[in-house]
Chains A and B, each alone.
Chain A
Amino acid sequence: MANDPFDYAPAPESRSVVDIKSSYGLFINGEFVAGGGKSFKTISPSTEEVLSEVAEADADDVDKAVKAARRAYSRVWSRMSGAERGKYLFRIARIIQERAREIAVLESIDNGKPIKESRDVDIPTAAAHFFYYAGWADKLEHAGFGPDPQSLGVAGQVIPWNFPFLMLAWKIAPALATGNTVVLKPAETTPLTALLFAEICQQADLPPGVVNIVTGAGTTGQALVSHEDVDKVAFTGSTAVGRAIARAVAGSRKKVTLELGGKAANIVFDDAPIDQAIEGIVTGIFFNQGHVCCAGSRLLVQESVAEEVLERLKRRMGTLRVGDPLDKNTDVGAINSDRQLQRIRELADVGEAEGAGRWSPTCDLPDHGFWFPPTIFTGVSQAHRIAREEIFGPVLSVLTFRTPKEAVEKANNTPYGLSAGIWSDKGSRTLWMAGQLRAGVVWSNTFNKFDPASPFGGYKESGYGREGGRHGLEGYLKGGQ
């Protein structure tokens, strides 16, 4: 929109609401403590500015955190009534609501996602998640898991960088509601909002040790999930790491839930509500820069309307505003890390080399930071790598189909099975499709919708277990492991 007379002036959200310390320790037993010595830098992916120096937890630190969690579990948390546990969670939900803007800004700085998303999606949904599970804490006997459901003990939780605060909420809220205590490791590129959450626990007077936050990279996570006094492992991240975790816990009594990668099909029929379908395609793949495990990264469009859909999609992509995550009008922010940017570039290059047609709207990308323009590949077939591998970026592969059965076959022709989308005005076929698709979440005439009351999780190599809803309690209660 270069020649647009209505050129939106910059509308930056103020950074003054956040206070980033120059260094952070680990949050163990209710207080911030120095780690074993090593530390790492967290940077802003939109500017490459160093934001803070964060302690890197080693095996000893992890052990201290697990011990603190165990102590809190046996002395306080497991003895407390569900109603009283629930009150702590309600408090946390309220403090998140009260400090929503601060958390949103910090999230956008550390992660690179548009403030519009952190403000309107991530943080409100995180608060809602705590609110929802707070209400379960004193109703577990009604949840359908037996008359007297029991907690597991200490949960070791490892979360990704794409929705740092929201994934924290998804992990911690059900764990605490069911009576477990937690050691959580945020991703090494996005530790700051988890550390802010530690402050929230302090403000809520949460008993020390109930929540412990250990920062670090893969080795820290490994130490946590393989710690012998951890009763539960919850992981969200790549399928490769998920597989490694499944191996590591073999032979133990640890209960495991894994929420892993995806390569979702977003299926558009010729009778789709077309303008909403275009929005759904855009939301499906460009929401959060495509850093979404359930992203609709494969567009399956019925041949008879493929040309028109593509034309409209391109026009719509021309209005996407890529840039400063803190600008309130930004639609697509920064890629989270240099490493991820290299991965996206590599796969996009492969797509081109394999003969797919690459297209991006013209957009001025900032000079500093990690950026990748919204991109689509046309003429993609099932054999292309970009149709099979999770890119985890703003890159859409477009394929076509002729019949509903062909759409189902193509959609299911992947080792993944996290989500899928169906766009059609014919309800009967939509429900038939939903029945055929091997995916844990199927959206119809919408995409990328999340709600605390709604379970989420994958089929096949997208992992096992469900987070959210009544089903999300099961992974934190005894039985079934």
Chain B
Amino acid sequence: MVRTSSRTTERIDVRKTYKLYVGGSFPRSESGRSYAVTDARGRFWANASHASRKDARDAVTAARSAFGGWSARPAYNRGQVVYRIAEVLEDRRDQFEAELRAAEGATAAKARAQVDASVDRLVWYAGWADKLAQVTGGANPVAGPYFNHTAPEPSGVVAVVAPTSPLLGLVSVVAPVIVTGNTAVVIASEPYPLTSITLAEVMATSDVPGGVVNVLTGPQAEIAPWLASHMDVNGIDLTGVGDVELGRNLEIEAAENLKRVRRPGVEDLLATPALDRMTTFQEHKTVWHPMGL
């Protein structure tokens, strides 16, 4: 929570330590490093963990080990979990509005709109869990005595470079990745990392299994290349990459094992999304089976 001035009260605040979110726990960076984060007025707020390549590696390991269980869950159950994130976020909306105002200097109305949109976005994606296959999959009328059916499946572990907006931005890129059964390693907003970690606390208390979402804070230029080149990562979402050169280099790295790539660039986050954030990280499997006596 944003600190209140300790000068006007006798009580000294107990400050929260902002750490990483990996495998369902909140570890500090193994590097022992951190970086100072200031609020909109330039005052010191807290030290955020400065994640290292080893933290990124550990996060991928956590995401991989969570993938089997998460992707095997019934879609209905994944939908309920994502919906649960929305419930808990709604419950803590005051905290997030305050954090957004403090961090970005957003007006009350704008902060409220961001929180509203974040909750609604989660609900929207939650509903897709057991419907996307009904929209993107189906029976194929092949010419021959075959049952032929196509259904989507998650790609696997997806690395995500989140956009600057620490709440709506993070929700908008993570929810579509996980609701379909992928697991995610996210590099949070570099300038506003703290709200993303607070959001990780929401996920940690929303029945999201450990390792399904992993949140790293720190410089994207330092961490992202390790994820882009990681051979056990199946996809990478570069939405939050601002630097054109960095984006191109990450794509080149990602080409090594043909990661599914979403290119840099942020859409209007307040508008209802299209399906592409989900379908980018989906495989489609077609099954043939003869029909005969």
A and B touch in the complex (CB under 8 A): yes
B120 close to chain A: CB less than 8 A: yes
Q: Are A453 and B291 in contact (CB-based, < 8 A)?
A: no
Complex CA distance for A432 and B135, rounded to whole angstroms: 26
Most buried by B among A86, A138, A142, A427: A142
Total count of chain B residues near the partner, CB < 8 A: 25
Q: Are B135 and A143 closer than 8 Å at their CB atoms?
A: yes
Bitwise interface map of B from 258 to 293 toward A, beta carbon under 8 Å scored 1, else 0: 000000000000001001000000000000011111
Question: What's the nearest-Cβ distance from chain A to residue B97, in Å?
Answer: 19
Q: Pick the contact of B289 from A128, A132, A142, A427 — CB < 8 Å?
A: A427
Q: Which of A90, A142, A429, A453 contacts B130 (CB 8 A)?
A: A453
CB of B131, distance to nearest CB on chain A (Å): 6
Tell me the minimal C-beta distance from A319 to chain B in angstroms.
30
Partner of B124, one of A138, A144, A428, A434: A138
Contact between A144 and B135 (Cβ–Cβ < 8 Å)? Answer: yes
9-residue interface stretch from B1-9, B58-66, B75-83, B216-224: B75-83
A87 within 8 A of B: yes
Interface residues of A in 69-99 (CB under 8 A from B): 83, 86-87, 90
Q: Which residue of the partner chain, among A90, A431, A470, contacts B131 with CB atoms under 8 Å?
A: A470
Query: Chain B residues near A427 (CB, 8 Å)?
Result: 289
Cβ of A435 under 8 Å from chain B: yes
The docked-state distance in angstroms from the alpha carbon of A404 to that of B292 is: 10
- The A interface is mostly helix, strand or loop, or mixed, namely helix
Q: Smallest CB–CB gap between A467 and chain B, Å?
A: 15
Q: Which of B121-141 contact A (CB under 8 A)?
A: 123-124, 126-131, 134-135
Neighbouring A residues of B293 by C-beta, 8 Å: 404, 428-429, 432
B79 touches A428 (CB 8 A): no
Contact B291 A432 (CB under 8 A): yes
Q: How far is the CB of B91 from chain A (nearest CB, A)?
A: 13
Bound together, the chains give a CA A470 to CA B131 distance in angstroms of 8
- Contact between A428 and B76 (Cβ–Cβ < 8 Å)? no
**Chain B residues near A453 (CB-CB < 8 A):** 75-76, 130-131, 134
Chain B contacts of A452 at CB under 8 A?
Answer: 76, 130
How far, in angstroms, from A89 to B162 measured CA to CA in the complex? 31
Are B79 and A135 neighbours in the complex by a CB distance under 8 Å? yes
Total number of A residues with any Cβ neighbor in B under 8 Å: 28
Q: What's the least CB distance linking B90 to chain A, in Å?
A: 10
Residue B147 is within 8 A (CB to CB) of chain A in the complex = yes
B291 touches A428 (CB 8 A): yes
Q: Bound state CA distance, A143 and B136, in angstroms?
A: 10
Instruction: Annotate A306-338 by CB proximity to B: 1 below 8 A, 0 otherwise.
Output: 000000000000000000000000000000000
Distance in Å: Cβ of B137 to nearest Cβ of chain A = 11
Residues of A contacting B123 in the complex (Cβ-Cβ under 8 angstroms): 83, 86-87, 90
Min distance, Cβ B15 to any Cβ of chain A, angstroms: 35
Residue from B75, B135, B289 within 8 A of A431 (CB atoms): B289
Within the complex, what minimum Cβ distance (angstroms) separates A449 from chain B?
13
Within the assembled complex, what's the spacing in Å between the Cα atoms of A432 and B290?
A: 8
Q: Chain A CB within 10 Å — which of B120, B134, B145, B147 has the most?
A: B134
Whose C-beta in chain B lies nearest to the C-beta of A455?
B134
- Let me know if B134 and A469 touch, CB within 8 A: yes
Q: When the two chains form the complex, which single residue of A128, A431, A470 contacts B76, counting CB atoms closer than 8 Å?
A: A128
Answer yes or no: A176 CB below 8 A from chain B CBs.
Answer: no
Tell me which residues across on chain B come within 8 A of A83, comparing CB atoms. Answer: 120, 123-124
Q: Is the CB of B127 within 8 A of A470?
A: no
Query: Counting CB contacts under 8 A, is A464 at the interface?
Result: no
Determine whether the beta carbon of A136 is less than 8 Å from that of B131: yes
The 8 Å CB contact of A134, one of B127, B275, B291, B292, is B127
Is A131 close to B, CB under 8 A? yes
Alpha-carbon distance A87/B116, docked complex (angstroms): 13
CB pair A435–B291 under 8 Å, yes or no, is yes
A128 surroundings in chain B (CB, below 8 A)? 76
Q: Please tell me if the beta carbons of A142 and B275 are within 8 angstroms of each other in the complex.
A: yes
Contact A428 B127 (CB under 8 A): no
Closest beta carbon of chain A to B271's beta carbon, Å:
13
Say if the beta carbon of A343 comes within 8 Å of chain B.
Answer: no
Pair A135/B147 contact, Cβ less than 8 Å:
no
- Tell me which residues across on chain B come within 8 A of A142, comparing CB atoms: 131, 135, 275
Q: Known contacts A428-B291, A431-B289, A432-B291: does B83 contact A90 (CB below 8 Å)? A: yes
Q: 8 Å CB contacts to A: which residues of B84-142?
A: 120, 123-124, 126-131, 134-135
* CA–CA, A224 and B238, complex, Å: 56
For A135, the chain B residues whose CB sits under 8 A away are: 79, 126-131
Which residues of the other chain, A, contact B291 by a CB distance below 8 angstroms? 428, 431-432, 434-435
Chain A 117-165 interface residues, beta-carbon cutoff 8 Å to B:
128, 131-132, 134-139, 142-144
Given A87-B123, A428-B289, A429-B292, A470 and B134 touching (CB < 8 A)?
A: yes
Closest CB in chain A relative to B14 CB, distance in Å: 34
Q: Mark A405-429, 1 if CB is under 8 A from B, else 0.
A: 0000000000000000000000111
Cβ distance A403 to chain B, nearest Cβ, rounded Å: 9
- B127 and A139 within 8 A (CB): yes
Contact status B292-A428, CB under 8 Å: yes
B7 to chain A, nearest CB (A): 42
The 10 residue pairs across chains A and B that have the minimum distance between CB atoms: A135-B127, A431-B291, A432-B291, A470-B134, A428-B290, A431-B147, A453-B130, A428-B292, A432-B292, A142-B135
13 contacts between A and B (CB under 8 A): A83-B123, A86-B123, A128-B76, A132-B76, A134-B127, A138-B272, A142-B131, A142-B275, A427-B289, A428-B289, A429-B292, A429-B293, A453-B134
